[in-house]
């Protein structure tokens, strides 16, 4: 029996996977990675897995999520739970395992840090943040919330050790949702056009030198191999580029395994044509859509594409599997030749 | 109660759910079903995917709802009394109208609309889509042009943000608070007020720069005439949405994150006293398809060769499909547990993200309404 990985495909697949290693190394060399994608694409799990993989590659990583509601200072964290910090209280960074730290970025914390920076006296910042009027003002203007998040992030990226090297060389930020990623990408331009001068303008310009430098920052656009998510990702890529935020890579998550050889597939089509629909056709349709979606994404995304297999499990277990896959991408665990899989020592 | 009776009886259907679960498609399909059943329906949506917009025959965000032609709406059945309009919300249009309607005079409206800051309002305020959705909904309900409004909520993580947004604005617009931000007037307020106002002045001046702070204060001064109206409308919308005329449907996919989100929404609705009407499970294989197992194909192939390998691969896919379908039926069963009286849990047929045309919306709407 011939395996599905035919000899003619092998060099191609290996080249792609070799490219994946180089791609990941280039990712880990950046200071900030912004992970964006719609709900349900597995973004949070993937962010946790990327962090684990980067730690396994010897990097010190700060994993960050964004607080969404103002009532969330002390509440369960989906991302935290995946790396061993199920409950978060306060905006402090904490180390969850060697080389891996976790933080929930909070608009209020960022705004406080910003006020401390620009006001002559520290007590003024504290007094101001205690003022109900100002708190409500900051709450009612969500641009200022996002500004706070960005500022706290910038603050953490800038922190150094006593020897001057960065305390957190690589920050991985799990962005809340596609809409927010775009809002964050658009924010600096908006703020600059509204208030080009003053401390906010200065701070925004400083943030932009980090955000727009492709050597330092990159957005990772996570999506699924289905038509609608791929269309939306391509739209998002265009919009993000308009704001000159570099796109580091696309990540196509949960690519289903194709168990057919071209001849086998042709034979099955013939049989189904003759004998009518059978169970398995929904999965077959899904497979075809996935391959079309992958081709469309690879052909249109202005960045390299990392395709990840559909792996079983969920939660921390899935994070581990994905991280292992990312750490050794030269092996493709989702689709080894079937003959080898059967004979492989366990 | 079934989805069908919701579509017949309610005046507002609000669809909530995490992004990417097919909320907009579901909203459109339910709107189509209600209109084909004879009601005057408006589907209010924000930023639909291009293909869906095309399926509904929408070109660009317009200033008015776009009617769906009766030929298209009633394709395959006798034309009825129903009507379907679709409106892709444009926050700028909504706000401009809002300012014009509530300003004491056309001049006052012009002062606001021509202010430099006004042009940036919807860029600066990321929750603007939410404000706009709430405002548009309130406005259409007030006009009474439609018998049913289906609202597709903006794609924020907290889908109830659109309800929170007006409240948040209203809290901020508390007169005592706002007055602190307005241009200074001699002799206003007590000592505490003056001290706080001074502190804010210092903070805002240091943070935004003096000239921007002045500009902002002028703008707030011009806008402040509308504040009491915004507060009233926030209260009015809330009472409308808590009434039995309204129903909230939670749209979810079988994925863990989306289900967690749906459970969270359900609790939020309960907490806020909003009428929860049930779940729509999208992108699932929970519906039976009643097909034959592909093992049956084995007798048509040789003992070895590509065809046999192909059928064996199909058998493995069928196993996966069965396991997945079973898992999804489990999800549906869990959603159906502990539902309040009258609420539903319905699985949509797997559209596979493929909605090629209006006919697809018709079929989806019928499948949802009759299950």
Determine whether the interchain pair A229/B306 forms a contact, defined as Cβ–Cβ distance below 8 Å. Answer: no
Chain B residue with Cα closest to A272 = B297
| B325: in domain | yes
Cα–Cα distance, A120 to A140 (Å, whole number): 26
Based on the fold, state whether residues B13 and B72 are members of the same structural domain.
Answer: yes
Mean pLDDT throughout A321-342?
Answer: 56
Determine whether the interchain pair B310/A264 forms a contact, defined as Cβ–Cβ distance below 8 Å. Answer: yes
Q: How many angstroms from the chain centroid is the CA of residue A140? A: 28
Determine whether the interchain pair A278/B296 forms a contact, defined as Cβ–Cβ distance below 8 Å. Answer: yes
Q: Distance from B343 to chain A by nearest Cα, in Å?
A: 24
Determine whether the interchain pair B126/A183 forms a contact, defined as Cβ–Cβ distance below 8 Å. Answer: yes
Determine whether the interchain pair B203/A124 forms a contact, defined as Cβ–Cβ distance below 8 Å. Answer: yes
| B203: in domain | no
Chain A residue with Cα closest to B294 = A278
Range of the domain at B9: 3-159+240-283+348-370
Block residue for tokens 């500022």: A151
Long-range contacts of B59-64 (CB under 8 A, 24+ apart): B60/B88, B61/B88, B61/B89, B61/B90, B61/B93, B62/B87, B62/B88, B62/B90, B63/B90, B63/B93
Other CB atoms within 10 Å distance of the CB of residue A160: 10
Q: What is the CATH number of the domain that holds B114?
A: 3.40.50.300
Say if residue A85's pLDDT is above 50: yes
Say if residue B319's pLDDT is above 80: yes
Confidence of residue B350 (pLDDT cuts 50, 70, 90): confident
A13-17, A50-54, A249-253, A258-262: least confident range: A13-17
Chain B residue with Cα closest to A114 = B207
Mean pLDDT throughout B2-26?
Answer: 89
Based on the fold, state whether residues B246 and B309 are members of the same structural domain.
Answer: no
Number of domains making up chain B:
2
- Residue B231's pLDDT is 73
A117-126, A176-185, A326-335: least confident range: A326-335
Each domain of chain A, given as residue ranges in start order, spans 39-331
- Residue A167's pLDDT is 96
Q: Identify which of A131, A29, A248, A341 has the alpha carbon closest to the alpha carbon of residue B316.
A: A341
Is residue B192 less than 8 Å (CB to CB) from chain A? Answer: no
Based on the fold, state whether residues B268 and B313 are members of the same structural domain.
Answer: no
CATH code given to domain A39-331: 3.40.50.300
Confidence of residue A346 (pLDDT cuts 50, 70, 90): very low
CA–CA–CA angle A329, A331, A337 (5° rounding): 145
> Do B33 and B348 touch, CB atoms closer than 8 A?
no
Which chain A residues have a beta carbon less than 8 Å from that of B314?
268, 278, 280, 284
- What are the pLDDT digits (tens) for B93-135? 888 888 888 888 899 888 888 887 777 766 555 456 777 788 8
Cα–Cα distance, B323 to B317 (Å, whole number): 10
Determine whether the interchain pair A136/B171 forms a contact, defined as Cβ–Cβ distance below 8 Å. Answer: yes
Say if residue A220's pLDDT is above 80: yes
Other CB atoms within 10 Å distance of the CB of residue B117: 18
| B170: in domain | no
Q: Is B197 left (phi over 0), alpha (psi -120 to 50) or beta?
A: alpha
- Residue A340's pLDDT is 39
> Do A274 and A232 touch, CB atoms closer than 8 A?
no
Chain B residue with Cα closest to A66 = B157
Block residue for tokens 């919300």: B89
- What are the pLDDT digits (tens) for A230-283? 988 998 899 889 989 999 999 999 999 999 999 999 999 999 999 988 999 888
- What are the pLDDT digits (tens) for B200-258? 888 888 877 787 788 878 887 777 777 777 777 778 888 889 999 999 999 998 887 77
Cα–Cα distance, B225 to B248 (Å, whole number): 33
Residue A230 φ then ψ, to 5°? -70, -45
B84: three-class secondary structure by DSSP = strand
Q: Give the percent of chain A with pLDDT over 70.
A: 84
Distant-in-sequence, close-in-space partners of B24: CB < 8 Å, separation ≥ 6: B45, B48, B49, B52, B152
User: Which residue did the predictor score with more confidence, B288 or B165?
Assistant: B288
Confidence of residue B187 (pLDDT cuts 50, 70, 90): low
- What are the pLDDT digits (tens) for A117-174? 888 777 888 888 888 778 777 776 667 777 888 889 999 999 999 999 999 999 999 9
- Residue A178's pLDDT is 53
Say if residue B272's pLDDT is above 70: yes
- What are the pLDDT digits (tens) for B197-211? 888 888 888 877 787
- What are the pLDDT digits (tens) for B276-285? 999 999 989 9
User: Which residue did the predictor score with more confidence, B35 or A13?
Assistant: B35
Give the containing element (helix H, strand E) for A47. helix A43-56
> Do B347 and B284 touch, CB atoms closer than 8 A?
yes
Cα–Cα distance, B300 to B208 (Å, whole number): 77
Is residue B198 less than 8 Å (CB to CB) from chain A? Answer: no
- Residue A270's pLDDT is 94
Based on the fold, state whether residues B153 and B302 are members of the same structural domain.
Answer: no
Cα–Cα distance, B173 to A139 (Å, whole number): 12
Distant-in-sequence, close-in-space partners of B337: CB < 8 Å, separation ≥ 6: none
Is residue B330 less than 8 Å (CB to CB) from chain A? Answer: no
Chain B residue with Cα closest to A267 = B307
User: Which residue did the predictor score with more confidence, A219 or B99?
Assistant: A219
Cα–Cα distance, B317 to B309 (Å, whole number): 12
Which chain B residues have a beta carbon less than 8 Å from that of A145?
126
Alpha helices in B37-151 (DSSP H): 50-55, 70-73, 91-102, 106-113, 121-124, 128-143
- What is the residue-averaged pLDDT of chain A? 82
Alpha helices in chain B (DSSP H): 3-9, 23-36, 50-55, 70-73, 91-102, 106-113, 121-124, 128-143, 161-172, 175-181, 191-208, 210-223, 227-242, 256-271, 306-336, 358-370
Two structure tokens written together for A194: 């509204």
- Residue A191's pLDDT is 78
Determine whether the interchain pair A314/B322 forms a contact, defined as Cβ–Cβ distance below 8 Å. Answer: no
Distant-in-sequence, close-in-space partners of A343: CB < 8 Å, separation ≥ 6: none
Two structure tokens written together for A224: 């699924």
Q: Is B252 left (phi over 0), alpha (psi -120 to 50) or beta?
A: beta
Q: Give the percent of chain B with pLDDT over 90.
A: 35
- Residue A7's pLDDT is 41
- Residue B313's pLDDT is 95
> Do A33 and A50 touch, CB atoms closer than 8 A?
yes
Two structure tokens written together for A283: 């999965």
- What are the pLDDT digits (tens) for A62-78? 999 987 655 545 567 88
Give the CA count within 13 Å in the CB-facing half-sphere of B293.
10
Query: Which of A2, A278, A316 is the best mutation test for B, with the most CBs of B within 10 A?
Result: A278
Two structure tokens written together for A156: 């953490």
Long-range contacts of A107-110 (CB under 8 A, 24+ apart): A107/A67, A107/A70, A107/A138, A107/A144, A107/A145, A107/A146, A107/A147, A107/A148, A107/A149, A108/A70, A108/A135, A108/A138, A108/A148, A109/A148, A109/A152, A110/A147, A110/A148, A110/A149, A110/A150, A110/A151, A110/A152, A110/A153, A110/A155
Q: In chain B, positions 139-168, which contact chain A (CB-CB < 8 Å)?
A: 154-158, 168
Other CB atoms within 10 Å distance of the CB of residue A201: 19
Mean pLDDT throughout B295-324?
Answer: 92
Based on the fold, state whether residues B79 and B134 are members of the same structural domain.
Answer: yes
Q: DSSP states of A116-133 as a string?
A: HHHSS-HHHHHHHHH-HH
User: Which residue did the predictor score with more confidence, A95 or B156?
Assistant: A95
Determine whether the interchain pair A179/B208 forms a contact, defined as Cβ–Cβ distance below 8 Å. Answer: no
Cα–Cα distance, B310 to B40 (Å, whole number): 51
């Amino acid at each position: 029996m011939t395996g599905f990985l035919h000899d003619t495909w092998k060099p191609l697949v290996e080249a792609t996977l070799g490219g994946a290693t180089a791609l990941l190394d280039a990712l880990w060399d950046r200071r900030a990675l912004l992970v964006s994608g719609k709900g349900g694409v597995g973004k949070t799990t993937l962010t946790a897995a990327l962090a684990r993989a980067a730690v396994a590659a010897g990097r010190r990583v700060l994993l960050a999520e964004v607080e969404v509601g103002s009532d969330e200072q002390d509440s369960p964290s989906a991302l935290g739970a995946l790396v061993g910090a199920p409950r978060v209280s306060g905006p402090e960074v904490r180390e969850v395992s060697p080389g891996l730290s976790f933080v929930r970025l909070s608009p209020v914390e960022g705004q406080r840090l910003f006020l401390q920076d620009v006001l002559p006296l520290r007590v003024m910042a504290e007094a101001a943040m205690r003022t109900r009027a100002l708190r409500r003002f900051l709450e009612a203007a969500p641009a200022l919330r996002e500004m706070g998040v960005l500022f706290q992030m910038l603050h953490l990226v800038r922190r150094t050790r006593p020897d001057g090297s960065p305390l957190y060389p690589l920050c991985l930020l799990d962005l809340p949702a596609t809409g927010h990623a775009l809002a964050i990408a658009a924010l600096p331009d908006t703020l600059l056009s509204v208030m080009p001068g003053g401390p906010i303008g200065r701070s925004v310009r400083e943030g932009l030198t980090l955000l727009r430098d492709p050597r330092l920052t990159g957005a990772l656009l996570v999506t699924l191999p289905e038509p609608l998510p791929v269309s939306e990702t391509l739209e998002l890529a265009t919009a993000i580029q308009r704001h000159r935020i570099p796109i580091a890579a696309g990540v196509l998550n949960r690519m289903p395994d194709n168990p057919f050889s071209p001849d086998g597939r042709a034979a099955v089509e013939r049989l189904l044509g003759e004998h009518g629909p059978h169970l398995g056709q929904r999965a077959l349709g899904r497979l075809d859509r996935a391959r079309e979606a992958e081709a469309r994404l690879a052909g249109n995304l202005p960045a390299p594409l990392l395709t990840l297999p559909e792996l079983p499990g969920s939660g921390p277990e899935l994070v581990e599997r994905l991280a292992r896959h990312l750490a050794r991408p030269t092996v493709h665990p989702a689709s080894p030749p079937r003959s080898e899989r059967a004979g492989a020592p366990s | 109660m079934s989805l069908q009776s919701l579509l017949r009886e309610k005046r507002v259907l609000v669809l909530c759910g995490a992004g990417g679960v097919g909320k907009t498609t579901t909203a459109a399909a339910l709107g189509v079903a209600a209109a084909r059943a004879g009601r005057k329906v408006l589907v209010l949506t924000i930023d639909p995917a291009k293909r869906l917009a095309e399926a509904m025959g929408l070109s660009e965000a317009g200033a008015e709802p776009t009617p769906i032609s009766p030929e298209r709406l009633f394709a395959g059945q006798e034309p009825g009394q129903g009507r379907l309009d679709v409106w892709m919300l444009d926050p700028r249009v909504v706000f401009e109208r809002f300012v014009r309607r509530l300003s004491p005079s056309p001049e006052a409206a012009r002062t606001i609309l021509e202010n430099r800051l006004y042009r940036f309002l919807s860029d600066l305020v990321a929750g603007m889509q939410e404000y706009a959705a709430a405002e548009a909904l309130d406005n259409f309900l007030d006009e009474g042009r439609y018998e049913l409004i289906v609202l597709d909520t903006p794609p924020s993580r907290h889908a109830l943000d659109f309800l929170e947004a007006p409240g948040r604005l209203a809290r901020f617009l508390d007169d005592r608070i706002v007055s602190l931000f307005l241009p200074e007037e001699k002799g206003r307020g007590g000592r505490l007020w003056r001290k706080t106002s001074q502190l804010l002045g210092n903070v805002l001046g240091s943070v935004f720069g003096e000239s921007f702070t002045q500009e902002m204060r002028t703008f707030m001064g011009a806008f402040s005439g509308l504040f009491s109206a915004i507060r009233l409308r926030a209260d009015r919308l809330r009472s409308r949405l808590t009434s039995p005329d309204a129903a909230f449907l939670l749209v979810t996919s079988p994925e863990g994150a989306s289900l967690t989100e749906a459970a969270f929404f359900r609790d939020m609705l309960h907490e806020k006293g909003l009428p929860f009407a049930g779940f729509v499970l999208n992108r699932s294989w929970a519906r039976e398809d009643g097909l034959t197992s592909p093992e049956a194909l084995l007798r048509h192939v040789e003992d070895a060769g590509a065809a046999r390998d192909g059928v064996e691969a199909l058998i493995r896919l069928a196993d996966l499909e069965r396991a997945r379908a079973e898992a999804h039926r489990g999800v549906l069963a869990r959603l159906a547990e502990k539902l309040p009286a009258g609420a539903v849990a319905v699985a949509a047929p797997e559209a596979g993200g493929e909605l090629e045309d209006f006919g697809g919306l018709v079929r989806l709407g019928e499948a949802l309404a009759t299950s």
